[in-house]
Amino acid sequence: MASPHQKAIINGVTMRESKSAGAKTKCSKIVLNPRALDIVWGGNNRYWDYVKDQQSECAMLKSVCWLEVSGRVDLDKLIPSTDYQIKFSVRLNENASGWDKDVIFKARVGYNVARTTRCKLIKNKQFYEVPNELTFKTPKKSSGGRLSFGMYEIEGQAWKSGLLIEKITISQVNPA
């Protein structure tokens, strides 16, 4: 039986290369499109759909009570001992509803404790980036671990609709 959840399609990743360490190229910036994410109920078009908005394909939330959008990137792709930030490019359309509670954003490097921040999403005609403070530092030595990240709203128990996700950007903080 097919799962109603969308599993990531990793070839939806765009990487901007920066530094090389041996034979492996490291990235100062990685941009993920929505198909590179795991979206709970994303495989069921009653709840989520994909639409062309401006110049890119976006994941569009029709209606869910449990918002869970997550992704992961191998730490081998990132520059060791470097500060990065994660930004979700989103917008709420004019018919959006159910966004009274904060959305929780998390990032976890390997098996370390997750970094967490919260913010409210607002209706806007343009895409904007959230959150403002989700940063992490890559380990000094790559051990084959992963960066896991996500956005969640599971506490409010209200049906949510009208969210569009354009992309997720993982970028170096203050690159040289």
Q: What is the pTM of this model?
A: 0.86
Rounded-to-integer distance, Cα 20 and Cα 173, Å? 18
What is the pLDDT averaged over residues 6-23? 46
Task: Give me the pLDDT at residue 43, please.
Answer: 87
Task: Give me the pLDDT at residue 1, please.
Answer: 41
Q: What residue type is assigned to position 42 of the chain?
A: G
* Model confidence pLDDT, tens digit, residues 45-86: 999 999 997 788 999 999 999 999 999 999 999 999 999 999
Rounded-to-integer distance, Cα 109 and Cα 4, Å? 28
* Model confidence pLDDT, tens digit, residues 80-134: 999 999 999 999 999 999 999 999 999 999 888 889 999 999 999 999 999 988 9
Whether omega before 175 lies within 30 degrees of 0, making that bond cis, reads no
Rounded-to-integer distance, Cα 67 and Cα 38, Å? 11
